[in-house]
Amino acid sequence: MSKNALIRPVDLTSQPAPYQERNKILHKLLELMQRLRPNTKGNLEKLAIYMESCVAKKSPSGQSYRFNMSVLFRDLNKAKGDFYQIKIAGKSVLKRKIGDQVTNIGDADPNITVPQIMEKLNKLIHDKKSLVDNGYIMDVFDYPSVEIVSTHVSCDRCNMKFEKKKIMEKTLCKYHILKKQYDRETKTTTYPCCGESSTSTSLMRLGCKTHLHHVFRGSTYSELREISVFTSTETIDGDSNVLALDCEMAFTSKGYEMIRLTIVDFFTSQILLDEIVKPLGEVIDLNTLFSGVRDDDFINSISYEELVGRILNKALINRNSILIGHGLENDLNVMRITHKKIIDTAIIFQKGKFKTSLKNLSFEYLSRRIQTGEHDSSEDAIATMDIVKKKIGMSLTKRDWH
């Protein structure tokens, strides 16, 4: 198998053309780039994937995608291998040139210092409005002290309405494991888990998997507060640090709860904490396909209360910490923590109203495949951390910053 055979197009929420067609065009693009720059030392595979994805995102249909790609091929030939002349939708593909390297975002600066890194990180911290707009709970005093929470909720999987107090009563929940995807070419939606179309008359369109319980996930402050109270890191003084974190979650009788937490130090890449956490509610589904957590893992688990005590302190998470994550509002909500200094790669790389998955960001910016099977919170936390390092021009391999 050739090295080129390993590349693939970035998955998009809305595909302008079938995957096989995009894959074929991507390989032709890379072959052209390799002919134009046979002696380049840069990562042409990564640049080809990036350029194809840019065209795909800007193309509303298969016809426009094919036309825009033909324009890109024409421009590449015209530029005779000078990729810095290439523009997609009016924007230059490459921002700067270092020797003969191909560069997109965050070429590592070997001379960058810790103060310079901290300055760049502080510029990436989101303001309160941006965080609130993206679902973060920022200050418990912004919410009513008493608020009526509905006794009925819609199932997170099949959308059936049910009474929360009856969640442990057995029923039949029919659902699809994976979210449906919209194809702009055929104007249809399909479920990648089973290939069923949403317009199908088959009973399979209702779901390819069944479960004996409905499930739900609270998202508002009042709903989450029913599980346990929130803790603000503003009350915890401590050392300034930068931490990447990721949680795995499961459905329980209380909603959606944390079952694993990984915290990684930004500078040393050392895993500071990786624990299986026993949820407060009775487990309904561990979501093993996505969480990677199994029943046997709870032999060495710790309680939620014990975990909070271990992570909220002056040495780990405190008011001076910068926390990095992807869609971190989900993690902090299940941790029941409010924090101000947040860097969220889902927000940084957001395109309009659409957010790029961590899996695609990792492949696009790191040429790294993650989540190829069950999710791993340590893998996800490190990938998110490395994407930020790449963005600010920091080495991914350097460990000693003293």
The vertex-345 CA angle with 339 and 350, nearest 5°, equals 115
Backbone angles phi, psi at 112, to 5 degrees: -65, 140
Indicate if the pLDDT at residue 251 is higher than 90: yes
| Separation between Cα atoms, residue 399 and residue 376, nearest integer Å | 22
Residue 153 to residue 165: CA distance in whole angstroms: 10
What average pLDDT does this structure show over 204-222?
Answer: 89
356 or 284: whose pLDDT is higher?
284
Q: Say yes or no to pLDDT of 108 above 80.
A: no
Give residue 203's pLDDT: 63
Which stretch of 43-52, 103-112, 148-157, 388-397 has the lowest confidence by average pLDDT? 103-112
Give yes or no for residue 82 having a pLDDT over 90.
Answer: no
The size of the chain, in residues, is 402
In angstroms, the CA 191 to CA 182 distance is 9
Q: How many CB atoms sit inside 10 A of residue 96's CB?
A: 10
Q: Which of 94-108, 136-150, 301-315 has the highest mean pLDDT?
A: 301-315
Report the C-alpha gap between 80 and 66 in whole angstroms.
21
Residues 6 or more apart whose Cβ sits within 8 Å of residue 340: 128, 138, 233, 234, 319
Domains and CATH numbers, the chain: 3-92 (no CATH), 114-143+231-392 (3.30.420.10), 152-211 (no CATH)
Burial 312-325 (b: 16+ CB within 10 A, else e): beeebbbbebbbbb
- The whole-chain average pLDDT of the chain stands at 87
58 — phi, psi (to 5°)?
A: -90, -5
Provide the H-helix boundaries in 10-79: 19-36, 44-58, 62-79
Helix (H, G, I), strand (E, B) or coil at 317: strand
How does residue 205 score in pLDDT terms, banded at 50, 70 and 90? Answer: low
Task: Yes or no: say if 287 and 250 are a contact pair by the CB < 8 Å rule.
Answer: yes
Average pLDDT (378-399) is 92
Three-class secondary structure of residue 37 per DSSP: coil
Residue 319 in this model has a pLDDT that exceeds 90? yes
Please tell me the predicted confidence (pLDDT) of residue 387: 95
